[in-house]
A and B are shown apart, each in its own frame.
Chain A
């Protein structure tokens, strides 16, 4: 059969579909978004009636996936690394409840922070929860491991974490699909009726079970087809290569023969026997990890008595993603210097699109803020974060989903009045609503600008959970009706917008201003689809 050309994320999606999944739950976030989008656009997934609607946030997504697992079916939940922080409550406890139907938690890390605010390594979370972890090193493994992850989850009755990083997520390669599509599970409740009831007495038992299962998880890693010990003659150094680290290692040996013994790791917990063998036989060990020095730190020990090199001793950079040349240098290869980037090359940072509604919001906001003094605008995660860059320089914070409203509240509590929050429609329903409730309950003098472009735009225009609901939500949370304003952010309304900002900044309670105009990118896409549909209908007629 001819291979399919798939991104790493698409390979996971197709693997999960072919692996008997009944539903995917997710909130968009680079580099994880296209897993769910692929399933949403898959004809096969539609025919199989696989659930794939977006969730309001990562926590609701993970809980829904756990519910589907409870009911005996295979469920997948996908997010970017910082999304796992949002879902962490469910994540940690799901290791204690265990799974019934297979549950696969796919988390896409972003080392080098291509599109993120940190580069946390989700393997640390996996170890924290004591779950088995899969870390594919290529697109084929990503495809195979989706099904394998479900099987592993059902065999050990625990959710399984699959950790990928940007380069695998967004790199394409030929993938061979399995000949057989696994049938979805039947509805089947857990055998143990209190398995999912984490009352202390039950949780203690479940936790002991999780602890005693660690040995089994480790044995599975030892036997895993995805982990391997490859012997070689030169024992002056051994190499432990995790996930993509293995590729960068082998890239440096074009004939495929590394002169040093190598342990390839793509399944955790760490395969202990292989590690004992390589550390016992070799003079020193180089650890190649995409992300944090997780294994390196364990092997080296706090007192640094073991001969282990990698990110901690400067052999590799402590931060950022691995590259083939960085690994080449660590292996002792001379990397030939190529040409330098000429001085005339200017930086080309991302920017708000021409005609974007956020521009009209920031133009008006900047002028009114100037009247009060700068340093009081708390923003959030989305396209409007680009308001931090010139020419706007309009915002003073961007921390996590929803933090705009609550940081504005804290600053107002401290006496910074007015304090202003800028948040997008989808980010508001993701994690802004509860913070708004805090402010309403205390009548904190803040102005919340929900810059509503009716889509999740930064990640490609996915459906926003907030669509058509914002005013009702704010009113429902207790914001006074006369302090909720909806307005059209266009240049000719500039003065009108400023007037409303000014008026509400003066109000000593919670105001919500909703500038609403659809995302220009989304609009173009929608028009294209509309045109295509009309053409289709015409062709039929």
Chain B
């Protein structure tokens, strides 16, 4: 059991909550995990990433080697492409299709989509829309994304539910249910569109 995943986004989008749920899932089930993240300057609207590693054997490096990631999970489409050198052959790119535009030279939407669709393995998902319309909370888009990546994560799906339950326990049943619903919605999309 081993999954290396790059989680990508823009500072302020909250990618660390995805990492936190996964980390909690790993720890609850006595798996090894390491998760390196970006703090400091880039958090001001710059590109941010987190390297997430889960395994049933000890993990040495906090960084994923280039060409070593099983999955790139990106909450923003252009950011998914920034980490392609990390993707393993046969690895999956799972990305949100809603762009986060805070720069002038952001690529044209069509070109961006075409580049993603030219990748060998990808899931392109409008997590913002699914979160709003199917889950009922725009803020749950991060867990729609985790759900969409879940078929490629070598960790039992129940563990992920458990992780979400754990990190949101203090916020009450309603928040937990919402985020688990988001997880399922993302997974369903991915299974139908991979």
A and B associate in one complex: yes
Contact A458 B41 (CB under 8 A): yes
Contact A174 B45 (CB under 8 A): no
Say yes or no: is B34 at the interface (Cβ < 8 Å to chain A): yes
B interface size (C-beta, 8 A): 54
SS class of chain A's interface: helix, strand, loop or mixed? Answer: loop
CA distance A172 to B67 in the complex (A): 22
Contact A114 B37 (CB under 8 A): no
Which of A324, A335, A340 has the most C-beta atoms of chain B within 10 angstroms of its own C-beta?
Answer: A324
SS class of chain B's interface: helix, strand, loop or mixed? Answer: mixed
Task: Known A2-B27, A338-B87; judge A115-B65 contact (CB<8 A).
Answer: no
Known: A172-B33, A174-B27, A458-B40. 6 other contacts (CB 8 A): A114-B38, A172-B19, A338-B88, A348-B46, A348-B79, A348-B103
Say yes or no: is A88 at the interface (Cβ < 8 Å to chain B): no
Say yes or no: is A370 at the interface (Cβ < 8 Å to chain B): no
Point out the residues of chain B lying under 8 angstroms from A30, CB to CB: 39-41
In chain A between 1 and 22, which residues have their CB closer than 8 angstroms to a CB of chain B? 2-3, 5
Query: 18 pairs across A/B with beta carbons < 8 Å?
Result: A2-B27, A34-B39, A114-B41, A115-B40, A115-B41, A167-B62, A171-B51, A172-B34, A172-B35, A174-B27, A247-B62, A248-B61, A328-B65, A335-B67, A338-B67, A348-B45, A350-B44, A352-B44
Task: Known A323-B63, A324-B65; judge A348-B102 contact (CB<8 A).
Answer: yes
Select one of A341, A350, A383 contacting B85, CB under 8 A.
Answer: A341
Contact A171 B62 (CB under 8 A): yes
Which B residues contact A (CB, under 8 angstroms)?
A: 10-11, 19, 23-24, 26-27, 32-47, 51, 58-68, 78-79, 81-82, 84-89, 102-103, 105-107, 111-112, 115, 119
Select one of A251, A344, A350 contacting B42, CB under 8 A.
Answer: A350
CA distance A367 to B119 in the complex (A): 47
Contact A336 B45 (CB under 8 A): no
Point out the residues of chain B lying under 8 angstroms from A34, CB to CB: 39
Contact A171 B36 (CB under 8 A): yes
CA distance A48 to B142 in the complex (A): 38
- Interface size class of chain A, counting residues whose CB lies under 8 Å from the partner chain: 35 or more
Contact B11 A251 (CB under 8 A): no
Task: Known A30-B40, A167-B63, A325-B65; judge A353-B45 contact (CB<8 A).
Answer: yes
Contact A323 B46 (CB under 8 A): no
Contact A248 B60 (CB under 8 A): yes
Of chain B, the residue at the smallest CB distance from A457 is: B44
Say yes or no: is A337 at the interface (Cβ < 8 Å to chain B): yes
Contact A114 B42 (CB under 8 A): yes
